[in-house]
Structure 1
Amino acid sequence: MKKQKRILTSDRPTGKLHLGHYVGSLKNRVELQNEYETFIMSADVQALTDNFDNPQKVRDNVLEVTMDNLAVGLDPNKVTFFIQSQIPEIAELTVYFMNLVTLARLQRNPTVKDEMQQKGFGNEIPVGFLSYPISQAADILFLKADLVPVGNDQSPMIEQTREIARRFNSLYGHVFDEPEGKFGEVARLVGTDGQAKMSKSLNNAIFLADPKDVVEQKVMNMYTDPSRLHFTDPGNVEGNPLFIYLDAFGSKEDQVQINDYKERYQKGKVGDIEVKQYLANILNRFLNPIRKRRAIYEQQPEVVGKILKEGTKKARMEAKKTLLEVKKAMKLDYFK
């Protein structure tokens, strides 16, 4: 029987997940869980690189993020959920990988550069933050994942992981296959304010757990076309968050209406308010089953805790096996 290929993906537990996470990664996870052996990691150690002064926030959000994953339709009988900090072998593997990557290479990583600028570190960059791509490589390679579903903005991380695997194999013999990235259909979902990325920290996100009225309020306050002063003015559809969201979350049955709105919007024959009301309805229709599933888990946090505990135990067994191979390859297996 052919061995099932393996997926690893992760979330930083710094807050609840939002629509950007869904189009970037969660949708792929749901679709692939029947085809691949799937592992989902709560990356609490990585979250501490820029939340080291607020560990309670990270701890609380491990449960929240896991519930979001379960709520979108991930099946705990098919998917292994685990917590990064509870697998010390990842930290050990990270140390070995640090010898394979230069500081200059880390600083060239576009994802790291963007996030450093966003977080305003200046010259006070924590070493842990700068080196987290190495930790991410250890996360992926300890499980020997074949596929990593991520948003397009994470592609430099996948490439860095592949480089580390290649370098390790060339030095010590073949231990790791190079993983592939699987990217979402929407490269990156813009924020409600029109900024390039929806983000918890930028306060421009619609969360999967947001109630109906909150979704409506956020949509009604959404940035559209700043050059359009009256609804009779022709408006731009390209790059307009309203229509980006309609394309991302509208069903096939909605396409006729969406195309009609696009045509009328460009001719100045429909106002922002009407299109926003339509979008709010589409988003709430999409989020309703997610909110219902989440409510069930919110009432049973002990069930979520058990899912994490059992999954972490399984993932650690894999980590121990990989570390034995790594140490043997690196001549560090002193006591056989």
Structure 2
Amino acid sequence: MVEEAAAFKITHVKESRVKQLDPENIVFGSLFTDHMLVADCIDGVWQTPEILPYGDIAYNPALASLHYGQSIFEGMKAFRNVDNEVVMFRPEENFKRFNISAERMCMAQVPEEIFMGGLKEILKLDSAWVPDGEDNSLYLRPFMFASDVYLGVRPSFNYRFMIIMSPAGKYYSTPPKVKIETEYIRAATGGVGYAKCAGNYAASLYPAKLAQEQGYTQLLWTDAQTHTKFEESGTMNVFFVQNGKLLTPKTSTTILKGITRDSLINIARDSGYEVSEQDVYVKDIVEGIKDGSVTEVFGAGTAVVVSPFSGVGFEGDDIPLPAITEKSISSVLKQKLDGIRKGKLEDTHGWVYKV
């Protein structure tokens, strides 16, 4: 069945696959909802967006994005609140960041009515896929890639924007052990580190693989010039608790401006914690873990939410971190963030967007 809804053309699936969803056993990024959104920008003009049954897409071997890497994405989540309503968390910030990435990668700007309107329409259609459960959510993946069929180094004239969605549970089953990376780099000043582009993640795979072979879950990236200052972790921003104070590296062109990061900073300040966005030096943190002044190191991001680290590896030395308790700052912040998103706590910042 095909119907028109606002500016979106919708083709419904013949039969939903939602029975495949087991909320007790969700593997991140492995099962996708019934529908996907597709919108093409042709010679600078956005065509009517379509919501179609989820499935394969055909592409030409000369597709520009395959050869020259013009590809960006966002990571977002939808939740069920205590009233069983489907809500998103700060989607306007993802929309703004998506177009910041597009500008840096010399790509088309996506209109708000396609990005935000598309999210709302597809979530209405596939709302049954938003799972119940304390750590469960529906992961939303808006992305865009160059769609020119052309072999030549120049920005594409045409782009395809899409949204797909996947049920998500807890990202890490156990607290990650991370390695401080002092050889390879994730991003350099003036580069694309602040953009959520595919190439950033591709470049990180090899050093992450080496670390995993050594028994680590993820990396803690350091600055490209001196390897003395922390930047972020492999899939998240990073926080440190030293002498009861919350520290996080200040953002720059080499660090992604995480929306979870910003939310936690605001929640921490609202809760009376001292927070500092500053240069955080490897030497100070390593010494602080050893002398007990650093009590927590944790990651923060859409997929992981808040993820305390169990230990840190540095120059061949594994340094364990204290066990996290309910009174740990990371635990308190996660509980409050979850409470706001699920409607258990008051949303004083206007972050929650009801679908």
- TM-score (structure 2 length as normaliser): 0.27
Whose RCO is larger (CA < 8 A, sep 6+)? 1
- TM-score (structure 1 length as normaliser): 0.28
Q: Which has the higher helix share?
A: 1
Q: Which has the higher strand share?
A: 2
